[in-house]
Structure 1
Amino acid sequence: MAFTTASNIPWTRVKALSFDIFGTLVDWEGGIDDSMRATALGPYLPKDRKQRMLDIERHDTAIQRDNQTMLQCDIIAEGLRRYAAELKVVENGHLTQDQVEEACKQYGGRIGSYPAFPDSVDAINRLRKHYKLIPLTNVDNQSFDDTLSGPLAGCRKSFSAVYTAEDIGSYKPSQKNFDYLLDHLKSDFGVEKGDLVHVAQSLFHDHGPATKNQLMSVWVDRGGDMGGEVEGAQEKFGFQMRVQTLGELAEIVDAAFG
């Protein structure tokens, strides 16, 4: 897929960037996979990483859709519980139900330890020189605070506000999350929709609704398996630019400001 050009976004006129965090700044897939394989379920998971990612995403997405106020740490724990049932680890005598429950509890509590991508902290601190930076994240408050105290500790002072799924009461791609973002940007900072760029990895959770809301957006294509089919992505999801790292975006913005 060809890269789109920086000229599609008027960087010197933009006032704020909203961010997906887990998948964009933090390695969501790597964190999930490492945490999942570290549990007692690890030996009984499929050997193919892509299959593991797509399987667990299928469970998590269904749970989010049906349980909009459940905390993300509990959603992924339930996702692993359903995955264990699908793999029949208890039925086949590999684990007891108590062992599965302990694995799910352990797994659900590790979101705050998922590693940041190497470019994330430096890029955020460069971008803060030009814009208000606002995470719009699908995780719960405690997990995000743990992340800001750990892998993204260098970013805490760079964020002007944080809008979480727990505070909003729903999960992206719900329209409610983007209504909350736009309403609060205007009331809290005086930023209008046309002065905002949404920056995210997930095509499904972020770029679909961003396009629906006529927002400018940048796809940070981290090359993972989750978040939507990449074939024909620009035509389907309508983002203005594709980059492969947040550092690349920071370089484009710095160049725009001369």
Structure 2
Amino acid sequence: MKVRTENPKSFRDFKLSSFDCFGTLIDWNEGVYKALEPIRSRLPESHPLYTDRRGFLSKFSSFEVPLVINNPRGIYSTLLSEAYMKLARNFGQTPTEEEGKAFGASVGDWPAFPDSVAALNSMKKHYKLVILSNVDRTSFAKVLAGPLAEVEFDAVYTAEDIGSYKPDINNFEYLLSHVEKDFGLKKDQILHTAQSLRADHAPAKLIGLDSAWIVRGDEGFAMGGEWADYDGKIEYTWKFETMEEISKAVEKDFRQQNTA
């Protein structure tokens, strides 16, 4: 992985920031881990994954990711339910359909990271804000009514709208074409801000889209991919640990322009 060093850019070069949601703005790890508690609680305390949060989330992802990739027109909440059932059965459990449905419907209950709302509202002063997310419209409506209710997005493009899931390059082509149609902006005016290496930064490089990597700590692997697996496949423009950090960097850049 490397940072683009040729032709260094300023945050002032962009007019719009597109965002991945789950893992970047919404704490996927915390939300999913809590919603999977019925399965985890049935494991014997001696099971190696009973107290291994990282391993438990990775195990869930081993079922969720293939379902999403192999069912591009599947509704995300339904695919989540299927992944839940597969995980439980893998542990020798017999989950009820109600359990699976409850997990699929839990998306709106997953918490935002503590800095997400303030950071987004700060960046809103300078950019159009657009969501590009592997989610269905109904589930994301719950997010907009819940943890991100205080943020006004200019557009939301979901996997259900597009008919495929990231990292399919089609999702990013959809982003570019709709941003041009909806806002009259070109690719070089868009900054894609995301945590996931697999779903966002790898295809962003393929399509030539500037990106900011929001690392979000050591658990990003669960849905975003292991760092070592993407060596040479990622070329982000900026790297920050949190949304708070990038929002402050954006604000500083624009403030310098105003005082120049």
Task: Provide the TM-score with structure 1 as the length reference.
Answer: 0.90
**Map of 1:134 onto structure 2:** 130
**Map of 2:81 onto structure 1:** 77
Residue 164 in 1 paired to residue 161 in 2? no
How much has 1:234 moved relative to structure 2? 6.5
Is the Cα–Cα contact under 8 Å of residues 159 and 171 in structure 2 kept in the other structure? yes
Give the superposed CA RMSD: 2.0
Is the Cα–Cα contact under 8 Å of residues 134 and 166 in structure 2 kept in the other structure? yes
**Map of 1:65 onto structure 2:** 69
**Map of 1:13 onto structure 2:** 13
Is the Cα–Cα contact under 8 Å of residues 14 and 189 in structure 2 kept in the other structure? yes
User: AA paired with 2:125?
Assistant: K
**Map of 1:34 onto structure 2:** 34
Deviations along 1:124-175, one digit per CA (max 9) or x if unpaired, are: 00101111110001111111111111111111x2x11100011111100011
Is the Cα–Cα contact under 8 Å of residues 8 and 241 in structure 1 kept in the other structure? no
- Measured at CA, do residues 4 and 154 of structure 1 come closer, stay the same or move farther in structure 2, by a change above 3 Å? farther
SS of 1:153's equivalent in the other structure is coil
**Map of 1:215 onto structure 2:** 209
- Unaligned stretches of 5+ in structure 1? 91-98
SS of 2:114's equivalent in the other structure is coil
**Map of 2:103 onto structure 1:** 107
Give the Cα separation in 1 of the matches to 2:135 and 2:205: 22
- Measured at CA, do residues 139 and 196 of structure 1 come closer, stay the same or move farther in structure 2, by a change above 3 Å? same
The counterpart of 2:196, out of the listed 189, 202, 207, is: 202
Give the Cα separation in 2 of the matches to 1:186 and 1:233: 29
**Percent identity of equivalent pairs:** 38
How much has 1:10 moved relative to structure 2? 2.0
Aligned length: 246
Residue 228 in 1 paired to residue 232 in 2? no
SS of 1:250's equivalent in the other structure is helix
- Measured at CA, do residues 173 and 193 of structure 1 come closer, stay the same or move farther in structure 2, by a change above 3 Å? same
The counterpart of 1:252, out of the listed 224, 249, 253, is: 249
Give the Cα separation in 2 of the matches to 1:4 and 1:196: 15
How much has 1:235 moved relative to structure 2? 4.0
User: AA paired with 1:197?
Assistant: L
SS of 1:116's equivalent in the other structure is coil
SS of 2:192's equivalent in the other structure is strand
Is the Cα–Cα contact under 8 Å of residues 3 and 243 in structure 1 kept in the other structure? no
How much has 1:41 moved relative to structure 2? 5.4
Is the Cα–Cα contact under 8 Å of residues 23 and 201 in structure 1 kept in the other structure? yes
Deviations along 1:45-80, one digit per CA (max 9) or x if unpaired, are: 821111111111111111011111111111111001
How much has 1:230 moved relative to structure 2? 1.6
**Map of 1:119 onto structure 2:** 115
**Map of 1:95 onto structure 2:** none
- Unaligned stretches of 5+ in structure 2? 256-260
**Map of 1:180 onto structure 2:** 174
Give the Cα separation in 1 of the matches to 2:74 and 2:54: 26
Residue 43 in 1 paired to residue 47 in 2? no
Deviations along 1:96-142, one digit per CA (max 9) or x if unpaired, are: xxx43222111111101100000000000010111111000111111
- Measured at CA, do residues 8 and 101 of structure 1 come closer, stay the same or move farther in structure 2, by a change above 3 Å? farther
Give the Cα separation in 1 of the matches to 2:12 and 2:176: 20
Task: Provide the TM-score with structure 2 as the length reference.
Answer: 0.89
SS of 1:154's equivalent in the other structure is coil
Give the Cα separation in 2 of the matches to 1:246 and 1:231: 23
Is the Cα–Cα contact under 8 Å of residues 4 and 242 in structure 1 kept in the other structure? no
How much has 1:4 moved relative to structure 2? 8.6
